Structure 1
Amino acid sequence: MKKVRKMIYLLFGTVFLVTSCSQDKNLYDPESTEKVTDLQIPDGFSWATTQNIECSITSPMPTTTSIFLDESCTEKGLIATIPVSQNSTTITLEVPTSSTAIYVQYPTASGKQVKKVDLNSVATKSTVDSKKAVISLPENATTDNNLIFSQTYTPAKNTYGTLMFEDLFPELGDYDLNDFVAYYNTYSYCGNIVGALKGLELNIQIRALGGSLPYQLCVQLGYIPTKYVQDYMTVRCNIDGVTMKLLPQNGDEKAILVITGLDKLKGSGENYYNTVPGTTLSKESELPTITCTIDNSNAYNADEYNAFKNTCDNPSTAFNFFLRNPNNNREIHLRGYEPTKLYTNYANEDPRHKGISYYSNSNLVWGIKVPAAIKHASERTDFTKAYKKFKNWVTTDGKNSKDWYNDPDPNSVITLKE
């Protein structure tokens, strides 16, 4: 009888262990032979899927130029439209690292023409992901006074990029990078004089919530303080109760916007949102889509004008997307970004080295930003399985497979309903 009891206890313990393992996202998955945490990552690898291109543009006469990512100059490839003249106009744009050229479109007497700028031949600045392009329009450029203000977009006009996070910082997670997934698009505009039309628009779409901690998506505006936002901000969303708010802080601090009301997305008794195959997944039209507009056009203060002008001229550094836990103020940023002043315990929780924030001793990160609308990995699927070329990109210091995100494994990513 004792032997029988021992066998029953042993069997019960084995079943309990297997069941527990299946519920723990962080335990080893034998189906995956290699994981993100196994990769040999170069120390200096920046994890950047974009590069900053400082464009200095001159024209023989005042005119308007539009800058595109594609040679066909389609609307979805448009990243900037700016007035230029004989005096150099400088703008720093965010361009995919996979892009080998940008295309500058300008008017002529015979119609619009395009000047190709080869990014492989332009000068590299102090950082590997930053370059400087000096662009001179040819003599056949004609005057165009239809536009008197600048417009810039990330990743491009009417095009989404993707934000993907792990939420166990400062501990390492399971690296399915689906604990918080969102699409983003930014649009900035600014006139040429104080008091002119100026403002910005943020478009965010929530794609997945695969984490259990109450993190909220935030964006810190790199050049605009809180006092220039609070009276000019309007928000709309297709889902009741979901909105974007301005975090209260000193008026001179950089403005931080936070998305709230996402708790109900997981539903009663559900742990995740759009990460588990075989469960009820959302339709594309059901995804929370938030549009936040900050229109500062009626202000005539020079400092306000410069804040919005800097945002428009530097879209590559104007928007810092991160996660924030409202219960303890813990923040999770992309590699290289500093925590905000609201995260007062950062140094104690995660002391860093080399002066670079949010990367582990083995150079692992907790967040990635991709300049394209991509599918996220299914629950407990290591990211190296979801995107097979991801490993080659990481281990070669970003030199190979720069467009890894265009080639997902269809069996390892989530496809939402049309």
Structure 2
Amino acid sequence: MGLIFLSTFNAIAEPFATCPSKAFLIQQSKANLFGVNLATGNSQTLSSQMNTSGKVNAIGFSVHDRFLYGFGYEANTLVKIGRDYQVLPIDGITGLPNISFYVGDVAVSDNAYYAYRRGASYGLYRISLDSEDPTYKQATQIINGAALDLRIYDFAFHPLTGLLYSVDSNGDLHQLDPTTGSSQLLGNVGQSGTFGAVYFDASGKFYISRNSDGYVFRINVSESSPTAELFAYGPSSSSNDGARCATAPLVDDDDTSIDYGDAPSSYGTSLDDNGARHALDLNGLYLGTAVSGEAIPNVDDDDDGVAFVTGFETGLETIVITSASAEGFLNAWVDWDHSGTFDENEQAIEAAPVIAGTNISTINVPISAVVGQTWVRFRVSAESEMSATGGVDNGEVEDYLIDVTSNGVSVQAYPGGVDWVTLAYEDFWPQKGDFDFNDLVLNYRTKTYVKEDQVISYQVEGEITGVGASYHNGFAVRLQGVDASNIDTDKIHYEVANQLQNTNPVETGRDEAIIMIVPDVWDHVVLPAGCEYFRVQTNCRDINKVYFRVRLPLITPIAQANAPSGLLDPFIFAAAGHYHGPHISNGNTRGWEVHLKNQAPTEAFDDSLLTTGDDYSDPDKSLYYQTDNGLPWALKIGDAWAHPIEKVDLLNAYPSFEAFSQTNGLQNPTWFNNPTAQKTIEQ
């Protein structure tokens, strides 16, 4: 009856529907199969009843037929596993020694299963899985286990090179040629133990899982000195073997089951950077009132679980209130030295127990902390120990920008510490153009640092949220009345798109301080396939915003009463080296600027452009950048704004704006809250 059952069962076995991104992990003396998200270490039981009473080991996923293959201890032969997770012994396998195997994988370019065992009587074997191959189901010894003597517990095929890789118990990384059995020692990766499950992803990154603690490490095998970096905290087991589809990405492009951080990439945010990330559980442990997952970091900044009762002043203690959904542990790191990373000695809260509800913690600000804006990362999890990066299978990560000040320094934020205004520009000036106000759209805020009634520093930060322009535009801010020579250029902090910039943003050859924050917007936005513009088309809205920040210390403080503050003077200008319309005929692209309504241009502006086209400026009356009926070419909206879809006129998207503009704001002051349905892009 058993043989009849297996034969019938084999006839109805079906392969997996896809090449899955999740890894497979098989454990226990009676085989149990788990699905593992290597990005977070999160695991789920796929089956505890697999049609066998024994172990299954040496498993590998075949990209050729989408079955799992492995060595079944009960059947003492090669087995395969389909989408129903049932173990099917494969009849007719010949040439294998009468012993079990615990190291195996299926080749990517060759439809064959490879198994290895140490010892002169064993070695590396190849079994063809191709029914058209004359050697189908025949095991061929590639090399014996005396010539290839490795203390390894699993290996995996590289999806691009076709070579095998494994890490032995001492932490040595080995590369094997499956055609000859020759091996090459590539170096020690810095971790030791029994690595019973190893995997590759489609990009060629190698992952090893340690049995004793479940830690998953990532290795770039193409480096000259490969090292293992802690990547995630996975399930531990004394009996462990793994497999995955080597041609699948580690995480699917549309996978929103992970919560990422929001800090710049240097802090470890994206998956490529081994950023901080947690498996999403809406009913589990998180900070604040809710948590959401995202396919890529920064798309949805929903951090709401941490409040700072007091400021961060050097040498003093800061009180932090956190709200947790359940019991767990809180860890936090602060970049005190502004290095762009969270160092081990910068952990500010370590494994602090939290309860469901409100929790109070303290952070000691070092006397040596660098003054200025920096990042703090909070991670809550059921795990007490973790680093500032890597994956965890529960909890949440929240990143915040904070201001570290010295004693006596106050920060005046516009419009508020965590609030934005929206700036929206039309770049056809002095012609009206399509008037959709999405040629450049930004979230924007400033900070003015004051000590003893003297301004000592400025900061401008923002996010590019929409680019619907064919022209190349730059974005700048003028500190009106501040001499360019008074900016301490040696101490400027300047970053765009989460990357520190090594250039001086203060425009040269000018009397006033003009800060060229983004010389050409198109140099920093990335368009997915099928998108012509950046976040202004309905099918192209889920793209990372481009963050920028400039900190501008002054050499000589300025009396607060005489210093600019608040909005300052943000404007766009024509990027050098690109055509910018028929009104720029003398090659002076820098002479073209667009400011907010009735804001005078800078000293770099070409005055001959005023009153041309549709422009009705009148400098004698301090009127600038408006049409004959008062419509502007630039807007400031006091909140995050849903800008018009590309080629949708502002007056069609927001009909009440016209009266607002013509009456200088007396009518329809909240026009921006009343968009026409399906005419705008929500931020």
Which TM-score band (shorter chain)? 0.5 to 0.7
List aligned pairs for 1:26-105, cutoff 5 A.
Answer: none
- Give the alignment partner of residue 274 of structure 1, picking from 535, 560, 564: 535
Please say if residues 459 and 549 of structure 2, whose CA atoms lie closer than 8 Å, have aligned partners that are also in contact. yes
Describe the superposition over 1:28-81 as per-residue Cα deviations: whole angstroms up to 9, x where unpaired: xxxxxxxxxxxxxxxxxxxxxxxxxxxxxxxxxxxxxxxxxxxxxxx99xxxxx
Question: Alpha carbons of 1:193 and 1:341: their partners in 2 closer, same or farther (altered >3 Å)?
Answer: closer
Is the 8 Å Cα contact of residues 478 and 512 (structure 2) preserved in structure 1? no
- Aligned-pair identity (%): 20
Q: 1:397 to 1:281 in 2, by over 3 A?
A: closer
Aligned partner of residue 235 in structure 1, secondary structure: strand
User: What pairs up with 1:199-238 in 2 under 5 angstroms?
Assistant: 199-229=457-487, 230-238=489-497
- 2:599 match: secondary structure: coil
- How many Å separate the matches in 2 of 1:387 and 1:348? 28
Aligned partner of residue 680 in structure 2, secondary structure: coil
Q: How does 1:128-143 map to 2 (within 5 A)?
A: none
Contact residue 219 and residue 321 of structure 1 kept, 8 A:
yes
Structure ID, larger Rg: 2
The answer to whether the Cα contact below 8 Å between 1:339 and 1:346 also exists between their aligned partners in 2 is no
> What are the ranges of 5 or more consecutive residues in structure 2 without an aligned counterpart?
1-306, 309-405, 577-588
Correspondence for 2:516: 257
Residues matched between the structures, number: 259
Give the alignment's Cα RMSD to 1 decimal: 3.1
Asked if structure 1 preserves the Cα contact closer than 8 Å seen for 2:507 and 2:516, the reply is no
Contact 1:242 / 1:288 at 8 angstroms: preserved in 2?
no
Match of 1:159 in 2: 419
Do the aligned partners of residues 346 and 150 (structure 1) sit closer, same or farther apart at CA in structure 2, a change above 3 Å counting? farther
What is the 5 A alignment of 1:398-417? 398-415=665-682
What is the alpha-carbon distance in structure 2 between the residues aligned to residue 240 and residue 148 of structure 1?
A: 31
Q: Which amino acid aligns with 1:176?
A: D
Q: CA deviation at 1:162?
A: 0.4
Secondary structure of the 1:231 match is helix
Contact 2:595 2:625 in 1 (8 A): yes
How far off its partner does 1:224 sit?
2.2
Report the 3-state secondary structure (helix = DSSP H, G, I; strand = E; otherwise coil) of the residue aligned with 2:558: helix
Q: 1:384 to 1:249 in 2, by over 3 A?
A: same
SS state at 1:305 partner: strand
2:561 and 2:515 map into 1 onto residues whose CA distance is 18
Instruction: Look up the SS of the partner of 2:485 in the other structure.
Output: helix
Q: Secondary structure at the match of 1:202?
A: strand
Q: Which residue of 2 aligns with 1:127?
A: none
**Partners of 2:408 and 2:499 in 1: how far apart?**
38
Q: Name the structure with the higher strand share.
A: 2
CA shift digits 1:254-303 (9 cap, x unpaired): 333331353252548854211111x33234xx21111111234xx4xxxx
Larger relative contact order (CA 8 Å, sep ≥ 6): 1
Distance 2:607 2:667 in 1: 38
User: Aligned pair in 2 of structure 1 residues 331, 254: CA closer, same or farther (>3 Å)?
Assistant: same
Q: 1:188 and 1:410 mapped to 2: Cα distance? A: 38
* Structure 1 gaps, min length 5: 1-74, 77-145
- Indicate whether 1:382 and 2:656 are aligned: no
Per the normalisation by structure 2, the TM-score is 0.35
Name the structure 2 match of 1:340.
Answer: 602
Contact 2:630 2:662 in 1 (8 A): no
Are residues 1:306 and 2:593 paired? no
Structure 1 residues 320, 396: closer, same or farther in 2, change over 3 A?
closer
Provide the C-alpha distance between the structure 1 equivalents of 2:594 and 2:418, rounded to a whole number of angstroms. Answer: 27
- Residue matched to 2:565: 315
Given residue 160 of structure 1, which amino acid in structure 2 is its aligned partner?
Answer: W
**C-alpha distance after superposition, 1:367-389 (max 9, x if no partner):** 01112111111111121232243
The match for 2:507 is 248
Q: CA deviation at 1:308?
A: 6.5
Tell me: CA distance 1:245–1:211, structure 2 relative to 1, closer, same or farther (3 Å).
farther
Q: Partners of 2:499 and 2:453 in 1: how far apart? A: 39
Summarize the alignment of residues 281-296 of structure 1 with structure 2, pairs less than 5 Å apart: 281-283=541-543, 286-296=544-554
Q: How far does residue 335 in structure 1 lie from its aligned partner after superposition? A: 1.4
Match of 1:365 in 2: 632
Once the two structures are TM-superposed, the CA of residue 315 in structure 1 deviates from its matched residue by 2.1
Q: Give the CA deviation at 1:247.
A: 4.1
SS of 1:216's partner is strand
Corresponding residue number in structure 1 for 2:456: 198
- Output one character per residue of 1:225-261: Cα deviation in whole Å (capped at 9) or x when no partner: 2112223311124445889852433364233333135
- Say if 1:179 and 1:376 are closer, same or farther in 2 by CA, change over 3 A: same
Alignment match of 1:326 (pick from 558, 572, 575):
575
